[in-house]
């Protein structure tokens, strides 16, 4: 019923070779390439860091754009760290970075316009804390154009974001999305558009109260086996 790729869980039944996926925060392209390999779908990816973008191998079905995503439009500075992924944000005011890169910044409306998309089957979001501003600035119409969205929120890095993360979840529920947290924290949250996906209350209950725990147990068991093998 579900698939998991690069730490992001989503409904596989909604994806096929006619699907369109968006990869925000493509990093080294693992998610984009995985989606194409598994489903043969079209993928539109965004990665603002030039070094990472240059390392993503091109393949049919993949289009890569060089911008960052947030709550506005203009120019911004990405902080490139040695110990974690590049971000528009700093974890602490005194946090040091290796370098900065000036990048183009787009909000969600302009991201979709740049991609030439009105409807998206799956959007993966891993943009290091900037997802809050992106969602907060997006219109209801724009958000309803997604069948499912898998998000890594970053309130584990920025605890002050917790209330905003919860507000975003509440907004999605009001917009007709099922909200399923596949992780103990908010690093793997899935929003499923109930109407667009045809996912009813029974299927939602199964996902939230059964599938998430089965998948979690599988991951923990795999991690345990991996740890034992490393000894």
Question: Mean pLDDT of all residues in the chain?
Answer: 92
d(CA 188, CA 8): 6
Name the residue among 117, 165, 125 with its Cα closest to residue 145.
117
Write down the pLDDT at residue 211: 78
Write down the pLDDT at residue 218: 60
**Any long-range contacts for 218-227 (C-beta under 8 Å, 24+ apart)?**
none
Length of the chain: 231
Mean pLDDT value of segment 47-56: 96
Q: Which residue has the tokens 């911004």?
A: 76
At 33, the pLDDT band (50, 70, 90 cuts) reads very high
Handedness of CA 66, 70, 74, 76 (dihedral sign): negative
| Percentage of the residues of the chain whose pLDDT score is greater than 90 | 80
Least confident range from 4-8, 129-133, 227-231: namely: 227-231
In which element (H, E) is residue 99 found? strand 99-106
Question: Can you give the residue ranges of every domain in the chain?
Answer: 2-200
Q: What DSSP character marks residue 31?
A: H
Write down the pLDDT at residue 53: 96
Write down the pLDDT at residue 96: 84
d(CA 25, CA 29): 9
Write down the pLDDT at residue 212: 67
The pLDDT tens digits for 180-220 are 999 999 999 999 999 999 999 999 998 888 776 666 666 65
Class for domain 2-200, per CATH? alpha beta
The pLDDT tens digits for 137-188 are 999 999 999 999 999 999 999 999 999 999 999 999 999 999 999 999 999 9
The pLDDT tens digits for 73-113 are 999 999 999 888 999 998 776 788 889 999 999 999 999 99
At 226, the pLDDT band (50, 70, 90 cuts) reads low
């Amino acid at each position: 019923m579900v698939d998991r790729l690069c730490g992001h869980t989503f409904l596989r039944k909604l994806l096929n070779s006619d699907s369109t996926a968006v990869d925000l925060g493509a990093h080294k392209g693992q998610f984009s390439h995985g989606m194409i390999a598994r489903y043969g779908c079209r993928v539109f990816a965004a990665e603002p860091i030039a070094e990472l973008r240059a390392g993503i191998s091109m393949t049919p079905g993949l289009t890569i754009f060089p911008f960052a995503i947030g709550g506005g439009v203009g120019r911004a500075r990405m902080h490139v760290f040695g110990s974690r992924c590049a971000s528009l944000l700093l974890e602490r005011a005194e946090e040091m970075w290796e370098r900065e890169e000036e990048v183009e910044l787009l909000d969600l409306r302009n991201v979709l316009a740049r991609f030439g998309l009105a409807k998206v089957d799956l959007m993966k979001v891993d943009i290091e804390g900037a997802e809050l501003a992106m969602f907060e600035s997006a219109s209801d119409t724009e958000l309803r154009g997604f069948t499912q969205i898998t998000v890594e929120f970053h309130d584990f890095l920025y605890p002050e974001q917790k209330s905003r993360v919860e507000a975003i979840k509440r907004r999605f529920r009001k917009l007709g999305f099922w909200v399923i947290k596949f992780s103990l924290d908010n690093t793997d949250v899935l929003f499923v558009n109930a109407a667009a996906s045809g996912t009813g209350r029974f299927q939602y209950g199964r996902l939230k109260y059964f599938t998430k725990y089965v998948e979690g147990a599988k991951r923990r068991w795999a991690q345990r086996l991996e740890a034992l093998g490393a000894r």
